[in-house]
Structure 1
């Protein structure tokens, strides 16, 4: 059917992206063993997959797409309804399944559909968090409709390789099928999307597996059967070493082995071992609370209520935020000053006048502001020892805070706990080993960006003193990871 991204692209109705013909044909070929097999596509869209096997059942919620599918594949049985509520009641069972399930973020997944999906997942022992997108539930519900020895093949977001809920999904699939095969594809299946897509193939419904088959391909090539796996990874080892994440399998096994030997040895240090890492403050209205020097002068805001701030990760252009950098921002009249007011006490008249402006009244109505004790007092403002990029392009920047600045929630603040341990570890920040660690512990955001959540940043590994590294191995592995997130 249609891959529905979290960011809609103009020109595509309802954000739908239909499966390329070569992909649709291959997925159907992978799962259909006999002309009499009955295939289900749980989100069939315009029938792109059903057309390759007319002995099919399609479910599609969008009326127009369902109509197109019926016209395109008149032999298929196609219902225009919500898949989860239909799946919860149907007694039909199928020989195989193929599809491209909607990728809808949790914020938009609600109501009867979400309740039905949760009930289906609970019935097979899977409890997905409230932050889970729709596609894992589509796979689990579809698997529940397969006959013994059934097969399924799906387009899936590449986040199957790193999302926290992917571990629950993969664990279930290994309990439900004798073969679980993930095919990672570097080149985009949907060039118009920032997100990458991989393929998933499962065979032998009713069996169990202890290993995940994994293939790495540069680009999709049509084929009548899944590619030969590049490696077979033990699930127990994947969960122990990598938390059930598949992305580390993108690099050669030799590099993974060296990395694990070092990171689990006594000489390496994790970022979280000596520092607390978290996002900065949430202002509630960045335009109101961040002032440029000229705005501060115009409103006559006293300097004691203004704090220099790092608003964006891209502002970290060097390994230190110092007075010279602040002066450059101020010379460019950037909004680099946070209005930092106490929640109680009398305020200067000029500050009160600024709060009473039309912009101030609008800010006071915003959710993050109106739920505060004093709407104008931004909480969580602190001066970290370092700034760490939350999202980065070519490489992750870490900058020492010599200027005593603060930061927004677009940047991580790093507060050191053990200064001696920090001094030794941070001196190796520029090593290929630690840069590779950023790639392995973080995850791609799309558009070539790497994102590091606080928990991921805490796992970044630093080499010990005097340790001789196989430089070329880590440099090559680093290059591989950056190519896979489309950053060269």
Structure 2
């Protein structure tokens, strides 16, 4: 099957793998207007796709790796110069320089942005003073490479993922932009620029190449409106505060100054500790084949698996009760015939005949081919099984759960294992875990995921604030709950929900 090259109907091949989600025309026209000051300005689009940015300016140069998209770009913008090939190779050798750059760089996560292209991209960034991490998605090096080709005094205007507001790999990019441009502006837009995508997108504008700035200008908008110039700044983010108070994140600046002061004051109180100070926090075990290793009671009985080889396990947050998992809670799951029995075998142990029969079943033949099973010896010995003091939600919708594990169950990597360093801190955790203060901290320290979910990586969970009783008593709970609701609205999970108290 051939792909139509009609610019009005063209859809690129392998959209997701190439990060080729093309920009709405109103957004493209606006960004070109922000970047271009004169019709003689030379404009670069480093990933020009089908040419919708190029067609907005008479003196434009684009680079596109996909031959079909490049052909469409040449048709759509016949006056533009379109180079077909890898942008980073081209950028490393070109002598061309530009008055401005605009576009929508591809968003390809680090797992797929790999090989020679990735190596060349990160080397080029390092050459220009941007030390991006190995976890950087493709859009970040595109911005650095494009920015390095902008002349003194020049400008950039780009679509960027909302990850620029929270991802650790985005922080070195922001540092580089502020050291390279006299004005750096992030435009956060709550309503989706790309309604069909789970990812949110914001906008970046930078001007005064060759200068530097000590702050990020941030504009917070409910929805995008086409404009010929960048919108007015709504909040000034000093880099010193961004680094020291907000852990190099812009997401807290979606909130009002009053809401930020509420959380900053809570976090800085002498009696406030972080969850990582009180406990080790990390995801549970990786079985490699959850459906095989987690058995229902009926399945365990059918295969005659000895109870001594079955460890109670909570497979996901939906299985957890609201506050405490105890024996009665496990018994309820057993009555429901939920898959809560982890087959726990060790290297070198004598495997009973009944268990061998299960391991050699058709399901076992499939399970042993899974990657994590394939690379361990023996394939059926699940490593790193912990029995934590608490389970913490890894991904949450309405609220984050921190559930005490009185049943001595374990969990896979769909939940965090929280193990106290000192059992005397049970009281401190118990006082906080079902309060608005806890939910507020989780929302600010965590980050949004597609579909409206909140995700807490281990490093983020370790930063969750655990205030003392005086801090909890001093907290404006109404404002805290309003702030939680606002952050949920920004991650598209808005409910009129009040959080339970102890």
The residue aligned with 1:3 is none
The residue aligned with 1:482 is 488
Q: Report the secondary structure of 2:373's partner residue.
A: helix
How far does residue 267 in structure 1 lie from its aligned partner after superposition? 1.6
The residue aligned with 2:292 is 288
1:188 matched to 2:181? The reply is no
The residue aligned with 1:200 is 204
How far does residue 320 in structure 1 lie from its aligned partner after superposition? 1.8
The residue aligned with 1:238 is 242
Q: Distance in 1 between matches of 2:140 and 2:26?
A: 23
Classify 1:10/1:427 alpha carbon distance in 2 versus 1 (closer, same or farther; 3 Å). farther
Contact kept in structure 2, 1:392 and 1:451, CA below 8 Å: yes
Q: Report the secondary structure of 2:432's partner residue.
A: coil
Contact kept in structure 2, 1:98 and 1:152, CA below 8 Å: yes
How far does residue 334 in structure 1 lie from its aligned partner after superposition? 2.2
Q: Distance in 2 between matches of 1:195 and 1:407?
A: 28
How far does residue 12 in structure 1 lie from its aligned partner after superposition? 7.7
The residue aligned with 2:498 is none
The residue aligned with 2:456 is 452
Structure 1: gaps spanning 5 or more residues? 1-7
Structure 2-normalised TM-score? 0.93
**Which of 25, 37, 42 is residue 46 of structure 2 equivalent to?**
42
Contact kept in structure 1, 2:180 and 2:209, CA below 8 Å: yes
Classify 1:112/1:12 alpha carbon distance in 2 versus 1 (closer, same or farther; 3 Å). closer
The residue aligned with 2:310 is 306
Classify 1:174/1:12 alpha carbon distance in 2 versus 1 (closer, same or farther; 3 Å). closer
Structure 1-normalised TM-score? 0.95
**Which of 34, 44, 56 is residue 52 of structure 1 equivalent to?**
56
1:370 matched to 2:374? The reply is yes
How far does residue 272 in structure 1 lie from its aligned partner after superposition? 1.1
Matches within 5 A, 1:397-476: 397-466=401-470, 467-476=473-482
4+ long deviations beyond 4 Å: 8-15
Classify 1:342/1:442 alpha carbon distance in 2 versus 1 (closer, same or farther; 3 Å). same
Q: Report the secondary structure of 2:159's partner residue.
A: strand
Contact kept in structure 2, 1:85 and 1:112, CA below 8 Å: no
Q: Distance in 2 between matches of 1:367 and 1:353?
A: 22
Q: Distance in 2 between matches of 1:152 and 1:73?
A: 20
Superposed CA deviations along residues 346-377 of structure 1, whole A, max 9, x for unmatched, are 22211122222233233333332233332211
Q: Distance in 1 between matches of 2:425 and 2:331?
A: 32
**Which of 126, 137, 142 is residue 141 of structure 2 equivalent to?**
137
Matches within 5 A, 1:69-218: 69-218=73-222
Structure 2: gaps spanning 5 or more residues? 1-11, 495-502
The residue aligned with 2:226 is 222
Superposed CA deviations along residues 75-120 of structure 1, whole A, max 9, x for unmatched, are 0001111111111110000010100000001122223322221121
Q: Distance in 1 between matches of 2:44 and 2:14?
A: 30
Q: Distance in 2 between matches of 1:337 and 1:245?
A: 40
1:347 matched to 2:342? The reply is no
Superposed CA deviations along residues 111-156 of structure 1, whole A, max 9, x for unmatched, are 3322221121111222212111000000000001111101000000
The CA RMSD measured in Å over matched residues stands at 1.7
- Count of residue pairs the alignment pairs up: 481
How far does residue 317 in structure 1 lie from its aligned partner after superposition? 4.0
How far does residue 403 in structure 1 lie from its aligned partner after superposition? 1.5
Q: Distance in 1 between matches of 2:61 and 2:14?
A: 30
1:318 matched to 2:322? The reply is yes
**Which of 250, 257, 274 is residue 278 of structure 2 equivalent to?**
274
Q: Distance in 2 between matches of 1:297 and 1:438?
A: 41
Decide which moves more: 476-485 or 327-336.
327-336
The residue aligned with 2:255 is 251
Q: Distance in 2 between matches of 1:342 and 1:112?
A: 40
Decide which moves more: 45-54 or 173-182.
45-54
Superposed CA deviations along residues 374-417 of structure 1, whole A, max 9, x for unmatched, are 22111111211111110000110111112111100111111111
